[in-house]
Amino acid sequence: MNGTGFIGLGNMGGRITRRLVEAGHSVLGYDPAAGAAERAGATPAADVAEVARENDLVLLSLPDSRAVEAVVLGEDGVLAHARPGQIVVDLSTAAPDSTRRIAAALAGRDARYLDAGISGGAAGAEKGVLTLMVGGEEQALDQARPTLTAFAAKIFHMGPSGTGHSAKLLNNFLNAVSLAATSEVMVAARKAGLDLRTLLDVLNSSSGANWATANRFPHIVEGDYLEGGLTSTLMTKDVILYVDHLRALGVPSLNSAGPLASFGLAANLGYADQISNRVVDAIGDITGGVRLHDEPEGTVTT
């Protein structure tokens, strides 16, 4: 494919773009934040329209469906400049219903839309080992795959349009549940006087093992929150999208109250724009200022 464009060069988009550039791709990038394209190593574009006009492959990494719709369907957006054979890959976390509407609109111009949910976080983006769950035409995915492999180690075709974003919402919900629940357990363990490192060894050898116990908390107990990943605000947004998706499917969501309460608490206690791993500090705050690690001297716990 001729030319790669990227719209949305924030926390994830910027990291992915840098991986593309390091792999030898020339990327024309746009983000409303001044200097974002340059920081990611991309050639800066003047606007969305320039990215859409100049590239056969356009990647999006945006906060939510509202932002995606504005960029694609808005005046002088991607749709206005779409053409036969062009492929748009949406790496955002978005509502499947919105995704299907956008795919249909682009198909009207004989362009293709792939919804590519991401798993692996900021660290995975930096290392180029993300997992992609992709909805849309398999032939379009095959065309885009050589570019996607610059930042993704595993790429799964999930089915027709919307299935990639559906899989992403299901995965993110389990991530939210395990992170919130493990945070609560770890604060309780600290209060109970347990050695947290030993407890993690127990959990990771037992039925309580999950991604948070294996990959997050071994760092958090040392004071490393793995900054740069999904914030509490975005985690809450993703859980709400999950609940809305299940409502549309006619499936009861019986377990959403826990993560909504936990990440809502984190947002209201000042951790809204910090990595969602800080939910453990929010729970610790309302438990008398508990931290899983020793604070440096002079640190004041809020």
248 and 97 in contact (C-beta within 8 Å)? yes
CA pair distance 262, 174, nearest whole angstrom: 14
Can you read off the two tokens belonging to residue 29?
């990038």
- Given a contact cutoff of 8 angstroms between Cβ atoms, the answer to whether 145 and 155 are in contact is yes
**Whole-angstrom distance, CA of residue 134 vs CA of residue 118:** 9
User: How far is 46 from 271, CA to CA, in rounded Å?
Assistant: 33
Q: Taking a C-beta distance cutoff of 8 angstroms, is the pair 182, 213 a contact? A: yes
CA atoms within 13 A of residue 203's CA, in its CB half-sphere: 24
User: Which is catalytic among the residues 127, 168, 191, 237?
Assistant: 168
Are 213 and 223 in contact by the 8 Å Cβ rule? The answer is no
Residue 237 among the catalytic residues: no
Q: Which residues are catalytic?
A: 168
